């Protein structure tokens, strides 16, 4: 019961945040210098057509009413139509989002596999040369622009060394060979048993995933190190040492075991932040995900698509933040 109540407290602010998110996208949609009616019917439409479409979109009504219409549309899962693709924005997003999830998941797995050990060992040898190197490395990850790193990776691994494939999700010869199931190309290729397409997909995933991984590596390493330093100060560590346990066992079983809960929060936040990095990475690598969809829509002033994508990214972001908060409240006995 008590546990339920702490969970409810964590979720209480979500409706207000959601409302704010919807309000922001509504306001942005209204201050756009492009008339949405003209965007649909074109410059040369007769006045009665313009008036008709305007009434159809509810744009002749006062602003508060327009906002209610907007909310009502959103609640019915209607984000409007994209001028560029002519599909409903929800269809477009459902089509492009899996590729972003594929990329972000690959990136976070790499970042965790490298970042956590780095953080743990840096904490174990605090102040050593290794610690300093890790520190510079993680600050570097937070300083390097992902699109520059992406270009440099392409230059080195694709152009100069020729060990990585170019941009996109797959090579031309596999185009249209893999059926669309989950939308995650690598998963789809594996599901359909096309192992050569799977291998090709993995190779294409490697560079963008590495770029994004380095982007979140800094945050993960730094947080792991900070938590570990805190944990290693605990008296139970002194006890474990006095008992004569091996250094490795103390480090991983006793200290790391205690910070694992805190790291769940860090991982959720890092994953949420990858969505930002994905916009730029996808543009550099022509990765057909939500980020590329967003930037292409931006350049075409396709506002329904831009606001729809912003809204969805905001939703995922809020969801992940909530998850981080709930995990923390559920598993950390000190919060209860």
Contacts with other proteins by CB under 8 A lie at 13, 16-17, 20-21, 23-25, 28-29, 31-33, 135-136, 139-140, 142-148, 151-152, 154-155, 159, 222-223, 226, 272-273, 275-276, 279-280, 283-284, 294-295, 298-299, 301, 303, 306-307, 309-310, 313-314, 317-318, 321
Question: Least distance to other proteins from the beta carbon of 330, Å?
Answer: 21
Backbone dihedral angles phi then psi of residue 81, each to the nearest 5 degrees: -105, 145
Whose Cβ is closer to other proteins: residue 85's or residue 310's?
A: 310
Question: Least distance to other proteins from the beta carbon of 46, Å?
Answer: 28
What pairs with residue 88 in β-bridges? 81
Whose Cβ is closer to other proteins: residue 152's or residue 181's?
A: 152
Question: Least distance to other proteins from the beta carbon of 2, Å?
Answer: 24
CA 178 vs. chain centroid, Å, equals 25
Question: Least distance to other proteins from the beta carbon of 268, Å?
Answer: 14
Note the maximum CA span of the chain: 87
Cα distances (angstroms) measured from residue 195 to each of 185, 187, 201: 12, 11, 10
Whose Cβ is closer to other proteins: residue 29's or residue 88's?
A: 29
Whose Cβ is closer to other proteins: residue 146's or residue 186's?
A: 146
Residue 145, exposed/middle/buried by CB under 10 A (0-12, 13-18, 19+)?
exposed
Question: Least distance to other proteins from the beta carbon of 35, Å?
Answer: 13
User: For residue 82, how many other CB atoms are within 10 A of its CB?
Assistant: 24
Instruction: Please list, in sequence order, all residues whose beta carbon lies within 8 angstroms of the beta carbon of residue 63, skipping any fewer than 6 positions away.
Output: 30
Whose Cβ is closer to other proteins: residue 3's or residue 125's?
A: 125
Burial readout 320-329 (b: 16 or more C-beta within 10 A, e: otherwise): bbbbbbbbbb
Cα distances (angstroms) measured from residue 210 to each of 101, 129, 141, 150, 281: 15, 25, 11, 9, 10
Question: Least distance to other proteins from the beta carbon of 304, Å?
Answer: 12
Whose Cβ is closer to other proteins: residue 191's or residue 301's?
A: 301
């Amino acid at each position: 019961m008590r546990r339920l109540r702490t969970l409810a407290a964590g979720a209480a602010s979500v409706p207000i945040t959601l409302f704010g998110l919807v309000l922001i996208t509504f306001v942005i949609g209204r201050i756009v210098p492009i008339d949405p009616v003209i965007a649909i019917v074109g410059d040369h439409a007769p006045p009665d057509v313009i008036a008709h479409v305007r009434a159809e979109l509810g744009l002749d009504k006062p602003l508060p009413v327009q906002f209610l219409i907007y909310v009502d549309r959103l609640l019915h899962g209607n984000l409007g139509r994209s001028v560029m693709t002519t599909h409903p924005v929800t269809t477009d997003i459902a089509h492009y989002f899996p590729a972003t999830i594929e990329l972000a998941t690959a990136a976070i797995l790499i970042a965790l596999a490298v970042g956590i050990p780095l953080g743990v060992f840096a904490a174990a040898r605090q102040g050593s040369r290794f610690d300093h190197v890790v520190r510079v490395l993680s600050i570097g990850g937070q300083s390097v622009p992902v699109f520059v790193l992406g270009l440099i990776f392409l230059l080195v691994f694709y152009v100069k060394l020729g060990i990585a494939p170019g941009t996109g999700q797959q090579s031309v010869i596999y185009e249209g060979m893999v059926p669309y199931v989950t939308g995650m190309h690598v998963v789809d290729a594996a599901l359909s048993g096309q192992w050569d397409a799977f291998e090709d997909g993995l190779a294409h995933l490697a560079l963008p995933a590495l770029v994004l991984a380095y982007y979140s590596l800094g945050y993960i390493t730094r947080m792991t190190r900070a938590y570990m330093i805190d944990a290693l100060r605990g008296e139970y560590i002194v006890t474990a040492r006095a008992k004569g346990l091996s250094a490795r066992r103390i480090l991983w079983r006793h200290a790391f075991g205690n910070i694992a809960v805190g790291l769940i929060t860090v991982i959720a936040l890092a994953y949420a932040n990858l969505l930002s990095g994905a916009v730029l990475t996808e543009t550099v690598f022509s990765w057909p995900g939500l980020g590329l969809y967003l930037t292409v829509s931006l350049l075409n002033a396709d506002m329904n698509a831009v606001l729809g994508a912003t809204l969805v990214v905001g939703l995922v972001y809020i969801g992940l933040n909530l998850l981080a908060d709930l995990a923390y409240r559920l598993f950390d006995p000190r919060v209860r």
